[in-house]
Amino acid sequence: MAKVLVVTSGKGGVGKTTSTAALGAALAKTGQKVAVIDFDVGLRNLDLVMGAERRVVFDLVNVVQGVAKLSQALIRDKRLDTLWLLPASQTRDKDALTEEGIAGIIKEMRPNYDWVICDSPAGIERGATLAMRFADIAVIVTNPEVSSVRDSDRIIGLLDSKTEKAEKGQRVEKHVLITRYDPQRAARGEMLNIEDVLEILSTPLLGIIPESEEVLRASNIGSPVTLSNPTSSPARAYLDAARRLKGDDVPMHIPTDRKGLFDKLFGRRAA
Amino acid sequence: MSWLDLFRRRGSAPVARERLQILLSHERAAARGEPDLLAKLREEILAVITKHVTVDHEKVEVSMDRGATVSTLEINVEIPNPSGLLLAGI
């Protein structure tokens, strides 16, 4: 029976799609059966970040409207045979998703996967509320920056009130994933540090993803960073976070890329 | 503080942290459905003033500066001169 996980944030551009792809691939690498669903109807991008943009035939809205079967819309990853993608549609109709439709899809997927990961759109409109609606676990992606932390706080409030679990008097298990973290700037007092963010949000930490060039490189080539360069610092941070999701006890630390003297003198190799 | 700090700009993270803590404590109260204190104050104060003075409702500014331990309420009422003034000393 799958665990339904929502990757959410409120604010846009903090790394929801990057994190969905990286965590999905990291879990699938361990042999778990994983489906990632793009809820950003009208602005789909998970397909592009995962390198499946030319293989989209049917999408989430087609399945909700009964135009296609779930099995027809799911795209199997070319690198990992336990990873599947359900793309969003590019329709401009913001009412294309219905709660009943999504409930049906999640219900159909639960018995067939270990993880169903819902990539939420930014904002607090229908796409975002439906992405979190049936979640068991939430990963709140937060940058160490005031507007992102404020929006995360708002999203935490919605997870505690507007989800199916909350309405039944249960709790969605919540985790903060801090992305684009720069330990040096935080040490100099130029960036909110981990303790500040966690204290303000009073939510446990899933992982710390350091700011890295590898994240842009991964999206450039259409591969989750945990597959494109598994030894890079963001990939190691995501792989650790995925293990924590599975219940492993992994000590928290911030991976770094060791640079040799040559790198320091001449900059990083061209990616 | 080392002498080096004299040449270094103080980090802005503590300011961010404090601003967030104050803002979120108020936003969380609002989300719990506690009434908008500022709107209520504005309405009631205005009612008291208009009992005695004619004021333009557009020319009333109510603002609150929220601090961690103390908040200040600032009320600016523009009163037309001299005909509207019924009460001296406001």
A266: pLDDT strictly greater than 70:
no
A31: left (phi over 0), alpha (psi -120 to 50) or beta: left
| Domain limits for position A205 | 3-266
Asked if the structure places residue B83 within a domain, the reply is no
Looking at beta carbons, which residues of chain B come within 8 Å of A146? Answer: 16, 19-20
Alpha carbon distances (Å) from A118 to A111, A132, A260, B2? 16, 8, 39, 49
For testing the chain B interface, which of A192, A201, A202 should be mutated: the one with the most B CBs within 10 Å?
A: A192
Asked if the structure places residue B51 within a domain, the reply is yes
Q: What is the pLDDT of residue A164?
A: 97
Lowest mean pLDDT among A108-112, A210-214, B65-69: B65-69
- State the nearest Cα–Cα gap between A148 and chain B, in angstroms: 11
For testing the chain A interface, which of B5, B19, B21, B24 should be mutated: the one with the most A CBs within 10 Å?
A: B24
Is ipTM over 0.85?
A: no
Choice between B87 and A189, residue whose per-residue pLDDT is larger: A189
The DSSP call for residue B61 is E
Q: What is the pLDDT of residue B1?
A: 52
Domain count, chain A: 1
Asked if the structure places residue A271 within a domain, the reply is no
Asked if the structure places residue B82 within a domain, the reply is no
Asked if the structure places residue B48 within a domain, the reply is yes
The DSSP call for residue B11 is P
Asked if the structure places residue A237 within a domain, the reply is yes
Asked if the structure places residue B89 within a domain, the reply is no
> Cα separation of A106 and A111, whole Å?
9
A122: pLDDT strictly greater than 60:
yes
Alpha carbon distances (Å) from B26 to A156, A200, B66? 15, 13, 9
Quickly state the pLDDT bin for B76 (edges 50, 70, 90): confident
A252 Cβ partners below 8 Å, 6+ apart? A205, A207, A208
Q: What is the pLDDT of residue A271?
A: 44
A168 token code pair: 């039944």
Q: Span A50-57, mean pLDDT?
A: 96
Asked if the structure places residue B41 within a domain, the reply is yes
Q: What is the pLDDT of residue B59?
A: 79
Asked if the structure places residue A175 within a domain, the reply is yes
Question: Tokens 């990853």 label which residue?
Answer: A77
A95 token code pair: 């009412």
Quickly state the pLDDT bin for A186 (edges 50, 70, 90): very high
A22 Cβ partners below 8 Å, 6+ apart? A218, A224, A225, A226, A234, A235, A238
Q: What is the mean pLDDT of chain B?
A: 75
A206 Cβ partners below 8 Å, 6+ apart? A139, A175, A176, A177, A241, A244, A245
What is the percent of chain B with per-residue pLDDT over 90, rounded to a whole number? 11
B37 Cβ partners below 8 Å, 6+ apart? B64
A183: pLDDT strictly greater than 80:
yes
What is the percent of chain B with per-residue pLDDT over 70, rounded to a whole number? 70
Asked if the structure places residue A35 within a domain, the reply is yes
| Domain limits for position B46 | 3-77
Domain count, chain B: 1
A123 Cβ partners below 8 Å, 6+ apart? A10, A12
Asked if the structure places residue B84 within a domain, the reply is no
Is A200's CB within 8 Å of B12's CB? Answer: no
> Cα separation of A101 and A108, whole Å?
11
What's the 3-state SS for chain A?
CCEEEEEECCCCCCCHHHHHHHHHHHHHHCCCCEEEEECCCCCCCHHHHCCCHHHCCCCHHHHHCCCCCHHHHCEECCCCCCEEEECCCCCCCCCCCCHHHHHHHHHHHHHHCCEEEEECCCCCCHHHHHHHHCCCEEEEEECCCHHHHHHHHHHHHHHCCCCHHHHCCCCCEEEEEEEEECHHHHHCCCCCCHHHHHHHHCCCEEEEEECCHHHHHHHHHCCCHHHHCCCCHHHHHHHHHHHHHCCCCCCCCCCCCCCCHHHHHHCCCCC
pTM of the predicted model, to two decimals?
Answer: 0.83
Tens of pLDDT, residue by residue over A3-32, are 999 999 999 999 999 999 999 999 999 999
Adjacent-strand bridge partners of A205: A176
Q: What is the mean pLDDT of chain A?
A: 94
Is B21's CB within 8 Å of A200's CB? Answer: yes
Asked if the structure places residue A193 within a domain, the reply is yes
- State the nearest Cα–Cα gap between B42 and chain A, in angstroms: 27
Residue B8, SS3 per DSSP: coil
A169 token code pair: 């008097």
The DSSP call for residue B1 is -
